Structures are given as C-alpha cells and as structure tokens.
Copies of this chain bind each other. A is one copy, B any other.
Amino acid sequence: MSGTQERPLRADAARNRARLLDVATEVFTTRGVGVPTEEIARAAGVGVGTLFRHFPTKEALLEAVMVRRLEAIAARTADLAAASEPAEAFFGCFRLVIEQSAGKNEFTQALAAAGVDAHAALQESSQAIRAQLADLLARAQQVGAVRAELGLPELVALLVGTGAMMELLGADPAARERIFEVVFDGLRPH
C-alpha cells in the first residue's frame, strides 16, 4: 500500500508479485526451502509460469524473500537506533534481530550466506544491516556498554548463533530470557 521502490509494474502484476513474496516467506519459513515451486504458486493463486516470470529462478525467489526480511529489519533497526541511547539501542536491536529471525533458521542462514556467498542482491541489502550493526556496536563500545575487542564478524556470529539457540528452545519465554541474560552479560566488558 505504500511506495516500496519496485519498478512500475501493472497493478495486477505488482499484486501477484507481492502475494508470491508473502506466500513464499510464509512457506519457506515454516516448511523449509524444499517446498516445490508449484505449491507456492498454487498457494499464491497463480500459475507456475507467473512465478517464474517474476522470479527467474527458485533461488531468485528465495533471495527476494530474504532481501525483504533484511530490509524490514534494517528499517526497524534504524528507527530503534535513532530513538535510544547507545546501550539501549544496541541491546534492543540485538533482541529485534533475534525475534525477527523466528521460524526455521531461514533468516539467520540468509545473514550467514550473505556474509559468505556472493549473491549480489543479498550482498547489497545485507550491507545496509551490517553497516547499521557496525555503527550500533561502535557506539555501544564507546559508552563502555560492550566489550571493546569485539568486531562486526563476531557480532554477526553472535546474532546467528543466538538465533539458533532460540529456535531450539522454541516458545519457552523464561528459557529464552535466560539465554538473553547469558549472552548480554557476556557481551558486556569484564
């Protein structure tokens, strides 16, 4: 309903594209990336042909899904970072990223893949997050809220790893909180 910057598509084409992304996100997140493309198309109410017109490859679809998630995170992170003082911003964003990575470990894998793989599109949008994370980290370190010796790679690893922990624990909120305590206390200078 707002102005995400896709190149101008016909109204219905844009709607199809959006629906496909929504459905794919849902499906990939809940059932993994092994789900047949045809099933995604059907769930989105379009034919396979349409899916492949919008995303020339299954991998391209996966990438688009990840990009969207990364961008969503980047946007929220930016808001949070702007509105809080460094320590609060850092730990708040850490939580945010973890919370958003719910469902399979698609997202965390995306982050991971982005740091390793050469997928152009992912590279681009993950760079945005990485820059933000680097900034948040630096500022939190300046105010002494986070160990000074940590770099961006370690932060990314900690995010991905903590996401994995949460997946294992499932919905138990108390256990999740205990994990946050361990990780956050560990992040602070000793």
Q: Which residues of B contact A162 (CB under 8 A)?
A: 161
Interface majority SS (helix, strand, loop, mixed), chain A: helix
Q: How far is the CA of A182 from the CA of B188 in the complex (A)?
A: 8
Q: Given that A168-B160, A168-B161 are contacting pairs, would A186 and B182 also be in contact in the complex, using a CB cutoff of 8 Å?
A: yes
> With A153-B169, A157-B168, A161-B165 in contact, do A182 and B187 touch (Cβ < 8 Å)?
yes
Q: Which of B160, B172, B178, B185 contacts A150 (CB 8 A)?
A: B178
Give A178 to B156 CA distance when docked, in angstroms. 13
| B-contact bits for A152-190, CB 8 A (1 contact / 0 none) | 011011101111111011001001001101111111001
Asked if residues A157 and B165 are in contact (CB atoms below 8 Å), the reply is yes
In the complex, whether A115 has a CB less than 8 A from a CB of chain B is yes
Most B-side CB within 10 Å, residue of A165, A168, A169, A179: A168
Residues of A within 8 A of B (CB): 108, 112, 115, 147, 149-151, 153-154, 156-158, 160-166, 168-169, 172, 175, 178-179, 181-187, 190
Apart from A147-B178, A182-B187: 6 A-B pairs, beta carbons within 8 A: A112-B168, A153-B169, A157-B164, A181-B186, A183-B186, A186-B187
